[in-house]
């Protein structure tokens, strides 16, 4: 069955047509208006989604050479995410499903990230790591559709920590990729930063203390003019030291959870924008070699960051289980946990 999938939970306006796990088309627009604010402004996100969604849906249908006649269902992200942004996608999905007389499927954005790296070789139970601007979660996957969050952030999420750290160094938004590039030129051991949750690791993440420590460090190294007083080498070393500690906290927590699990975990599904980072992948590789774990990433970097393909893939599994939404009742769920129905 062909599924038209729509995603507007944050700052990507996306639509895709998928048939099971086969991608027939994928269109996504990453909103640029937020870069000048250094973070996402919900009201601007909503307005931009509204301005573009219709043409993005039409483009996705055209690229897949599809029309309402061969689409079997319409799927949309209903949460978690920004309430007023989610509403835009839901409104359109509901409208199309009703006009076309097609079933409607409501998707959890995190389930989309989890399933976007799924391959037929994955054995359950497995673990999932979802690392993005709005999520830092380790999730036990008992089977498709059955999840348990084992750790999440108590404060800032990992992508947010990278974005804010990058901003302190004067890098453009989104900071994660810019910081990765700069960090590759620096020495990760040059500056000392505190390991988050030292002695209390293994159950949750916390990035706000590290972010504050980084701010202080920049001021120490750069003097009164902070980041503008830094040399190129100092900036690269700072970026490298900070990114290394952000990932150290993540991978140590992941290691503890996998080693302490009573279940024999053989596969790890990784997704979310931060999973596009090659340095993080190197660190995860060390853990996977040591723990005999197969790590799976989305087929390309575009599928790590938000997209509608992942929504369509998750929807295919829901459709197979007969889990459809009532168009009269479908509503945004901005705080929907992936382990809640």
Q: Which residues are annotated as a binding site for substrate?
A: 130-134, 163, 176, 180, 277
Per CB under 6 A, does 176 bind ligand KG4? Answer: yes
Q: Hey, which residues does 17 pair with through a beta bridge?
A: 4, 25
Per CB under 6 A, does 240 bind ligand KG4? Answer: no
Q: Which does 277 bind (CB under 5 to 8 A by kind): ligand KG4, Zn ion, none?
A: ligand KG4
Q: What is the DSSP letter of 325?
A: B
Q: 290, exposed or middle or buried, with CB in 10 Å at 0-12, 13-18, 19+?
A: exposed
Per CB under 6 A, does 111 bind ligand KG4? Answer: no
Pairing of β 146-153 and β 204-205: parallel
Pairing of β 294-296 and β 267-271: parallel
Between residues 237 and 306, which has the closer beta carbon with respect to Zn ion? 306
Q: Which does 133 bind (CB under 5 to 8 A by kind): ligand KG4, Zn ion, none?
A: ligand KG4
Cα(124)–Cα(142) distance, integer angstroms:
6
Tokens of 256: 């503890």
Cα(44)–Cα(290) distance, integer angstroms:
45
Residue 121: how many CB atoms within 10 A of its CB? 9
The answer to whether 233 and 284 are in contact (CB under 8 A) is no
Asked, as a colleague might, if the bond just before 125 is cis with ω within 30 of 0, I would say: yes
Q: What is the DSSP letter of 195?
A: P
Q: Which does 276 bind (CB under 5 to 8 A by kind): Zn ion, ligand KG4, none?
A: ligand KG4
Between residues 61 and 136, which has the closer beta carbon with respect to ligand KG4? 136
Q: How many chain residues bind Zn ion (CB under 5 A)?
A: 2
State the nearest-atom distance from the C-beta of 92 to ligand KG4, in Å: 20
Per CB under 5 A, does 12 bind Zn ion? Answer: no
Q: 146, exposed or middle or buried, with CB in 10 Å at 0-12, 13-18, 19+?
A: exposed
Binding mask 196-225 for ligand KG4 (x = CB under 6 A): ------------------------------
Between residues 89 and 103, which has the closer beta carbon with respect to ligand KG4? 89
Per CB under 6 A, does 163 bind ligand KG4? Answer: yes
Taking contact as CB under 6 A, which single stretch among the options 168-176, 229-237, 286-294, 332-340 is the one that binds ligand KG4? 168-176
Per CB under 6 A, does 188 bind ligand KG4? Answer: no
Taking contact as CB under 5 A, which single stretch among the options 60-68, 73-81, 129-137, 319-327 is the one that binds Zn ion? 129-137
Tokens of 121: 């070789």
Residues in contact with 243: Cβ distance below 8 Å, sequence separation at least 6, in sequence order: 162, 165, 179, 180, 183, 188, 279
Per CB under 5 A, does 132 bind Zn ion? Answer: yes
* Cα atoms found within 13 Å of the Cα of residue 266, Cβ hemisphere only: 4
The answer to whether 296 and 117 are in contact (CB under 8 A) is yes
Per CB under 6 A, the list member of 174, 186, 298, 316 interacting with ligand KG4 is 174
Per CB under 6 A, does 79 bind ligand KG4? Answer: no
Per CB under 6 A, does 306 bind ligand KG4? Answer: yes
Cα(316)–Cα(116) distance, integer angstroms:
12
Name the 3-class secondary structure at 84.
helix
Per CB under 5 A, does 267 bind Zn ion? Answer: no
Binding mask 275-304 for Zn ion (x = CB under 5 A): ------------------------------
Binding mask 261-280 for ligand KG4 (x = CB under 6 A): -----------xxx-xx---
* Cα atoms found within 13 Å of the Cα of residue 162, Cβ hemisphere only: 33
The residues binding ligand KG4 (CB under 6 A) are: 10, 132-134, 159, 162-163, 174-177, 180, 272-274, 276-277, 305-306
Question: Where do contacts with Zn ion occur on this chain (CB under 5 A)?
Answer: 132, 306
């Amino acid at each position: 069955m062909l599924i038209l999938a729509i995603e507007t939970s944050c700052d990507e306006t996306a639509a895709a047509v998928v048939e099971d796990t086969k991608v027939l088309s994928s269109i996504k627009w990453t909103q640029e208006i937020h870069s000048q604010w250094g973070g996402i402004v919900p009201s601007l996100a909503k307005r931009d989604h509204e301005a573009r969604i219709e043409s993005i849906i039409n483009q996705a249908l055209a690229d897949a050479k599809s029309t309402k006649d061969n689409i079997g269902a319409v799927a949309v992200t209903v949460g978690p995410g920004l309430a007023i942004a989610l509403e835009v996608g839901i409104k359109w999905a509901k409208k199309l499903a009703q006009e076309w007389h097609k079933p409607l499927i409501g998707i959890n954005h995190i389930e989309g990230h989890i399933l976007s790296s799924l391959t037929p070789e994955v054995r359950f139970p497995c673990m999932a790591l979802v690392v993005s601007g709005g999520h830092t979660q380790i999730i036990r996957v008992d089977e498709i559709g059955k999840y348990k969050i084992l750790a999440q952030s108590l404060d800032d999420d990992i992508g947010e920590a990278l974005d804010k750290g990058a901003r302190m160094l004067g890098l453009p938004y989104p900071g994660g990729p810019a910081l990765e590039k700069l960090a590759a030129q620096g020495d990760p051991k040059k500056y000392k930063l505190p390991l988050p949750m030292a002695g209390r690791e293994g159950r949750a993440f916390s990035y706000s203390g590290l972010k504050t420590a980084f701010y202080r460090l920049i001021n120490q190294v750069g003097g009164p003019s902070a980041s503008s007083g830094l040399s190129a080498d100092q900036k690269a070393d700072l970026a490298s030291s900070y990114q290394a500690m952000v990932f150290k906290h993540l991978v140590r927590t992941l290691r503890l959870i996998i080693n302490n699990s009573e279940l024999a975990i053989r596969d790890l599904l990784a997704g979310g924008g931060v999973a596009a980072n090659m340095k993080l992948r190197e660190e995860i590789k060390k853990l996977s070699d040591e723990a005999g774990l197969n790590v799976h990433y989305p087929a390309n970097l575009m599928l790590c960051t938000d997209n509608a393909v992942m929504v369509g893939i998750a929807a295919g599994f829901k459709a197979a289980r007969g889990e459809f939404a009532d168009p009269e009742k479908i509503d945004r769920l901005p705080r929907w946990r992936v382990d809640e129905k």
